[in-house]
Amino acid sequence: MIIARIVCLLPGLMLLPSGIGWLLNPAETSVGFGFIFNDLSLAAQNALIRDLTAFFLIVPILCLMSVITLNYLWVFSVSILFFIVVIAHIAAATIHGTGFIMQMFLPEVAILILSLVGAYLLAKQKS
């Protein structure tokens, strides 16, 4: 049971610093994403702060809910979210010509795998 809980928490721990960063210091956090925050319009800054804060903080919340309730569906939600992220990354690279950004793509795949494994381990222990 302890291994399942640890695996479920890992995706949340990986994304928590980004969520806090987008909320408290978006200008610095945006550098890691390849753009200069202060060059964006105020509407764009607002959209990035609210949307990326929500995106990067929902994962730790869902992971924690899985660990507290021992319900695999919470962490499986992270799997669904990151399946879409991985597909969108592939689409951006191939359809829109952005190229694969490996320093982002590999952690996205790792989070997808960890959340699937965590969901599997919790579901297996419930049955």
**CB within 8 A of 24, min separation 6: which ones?**
none
For the chain, 127 residues long, give each residue's pLDDT as a single digit of tens: 899 999 999 999 999 999 999 999 999 999 999 999 999 999 999 999 999 999 999 999 999 999 999 999 999 999 999 999 999 999 999 999 999 999 999 999 999 999 999 999 999 998 7
pTM beyond 0.85: the answer is yes
Instruction: Give the Cβ contact number of residue 32 at 10 Å.
Output: 11
SS3 41: coil
Give domain limits for the chain.
Answer: 2-126
Distance CA 113, CA 68 (A): 21
DSSP one-letter code for 64? H
Closest CA to 115 of 89, 67, 83, 78: 78
